Structure 1
């Protein structure tokens, strides 16, 4: 172990009085070979552990896409320009695009980097789960990263921040901090039972990025029951072990269902604020919940009913990462009325 990193642990534990959080964090970090500990931007007593990446494993980035080439170009450009981890492949899963510009762009990116980028075709109707499963089937990586085409990488070390947790034996899925273009929170972890449908919802939703969050929770990595599939990393082995995404959830809740399957297998799911992306949410397809489209609303209702039935015991037990005294009608950790 490099002396500078080892000294972090010795210095902290050598003190007569060590904050409980530091002591716990250091001993947790000992499960990994090398690590660094530093304070977060929020409080000196909220700590960040950086685990060493133990191998230069291939990451397969799976991007479902239908037209909207401006979105896809912005995303792929951000990946290529900002990634400091170089061992990755990009697999675009084409699904019923109609514009000639789309296919011209596919040829352009394949020609530009044929060893890194490829396009595979899914011919069925839109089914996010089936599209992602096909992408994974055509991947070569030890790790899989599901990534929406309407996202944009912000932080240069984004892949490392996800991988340092995904490589751990006890971790299932790892999710990122996703921001709307106005820099309010779109995703900072998912709680089951939250929201009008009592299925699952995002905490800190639309909170300002400058806010530290409830008890500083926007400032440190932590366990959540689920993370969004808009940016989700997991090892290929665990993806297969959990059976991939359930294609019965064609549009909604497939990511939460997947995370619950990982939890059933004994893994914990992690959200980290140190991997940041913009999310221009549902730019390609439109939202099933926020837009008054009767067909989409009915589809969401069906999938929500399926989810509530499949996970009724877990929903009844409540989310272990969300205090039972908090309202399930709000995402801001407000107490029940």
Structure 2
């Protein structure tokens, strides 16, 4: 392992000052970053431990929820307001990892975890534009069963691994960011980038910026929501396809809906087209199918992952049908 400096931040200003230095990285639970360092994929010169900061989970004045970036996945999943007002978030977190990992992993770190593409992790034997820009992508012509069908490029077909982020995308979450230059907020749906010709640049974070919190807006329809993850095995495999959904039905018609997909793109995929197609329509299987097909119309399968298109369609229809039935 490459030598590095380790410091533990004792205050927000201290963290931002140290994290803004060249070669520094912020450290949360380390459940992804430490693995990448062991594989020499990540080589930070300094680690700034921020696990002592930003733990609180608090109700906002307008009835939303502010979740500190250092709150553990377990703390969020078990929080009474999350379970009651945003059940899809709790379910996504529990589906994402074992209890041991949830106890260590932080909210901020979950947002910034990197792809689990096999070629990305094969540091010596495979070409990967995400590791070394311009090198090539062996996944495109290789075994690509788990890879993206939406939003990919000729330079990268990796998928984002997070379950939590899919739920947060559906919930209109906002990311709070801090740096020595000041604070700003960013919609979670804008945090992650599609690969384009620079798949190594994965987020819209500026150098030295630190995620300090995630804010969930008051969203009454989220009380009727769920998360479904389809994977090869039940023992915490990454999603082939996942669906986060919230649905409000009035007099048999879709009054409002939130929908996001995981396992299909380089970022958590907000299903804007499906949502637009559904609002005002009858809450029927036919309408759910039409909306799913509208979202998946631009899907571009690789040689091994074409099954994801039908799998995503069926999962979206099943989840929306489940929520519509519960509403009835």
TM-score, normalised to structure 2, is 0.26
TM-score, normalised to structure 1, is 0.26
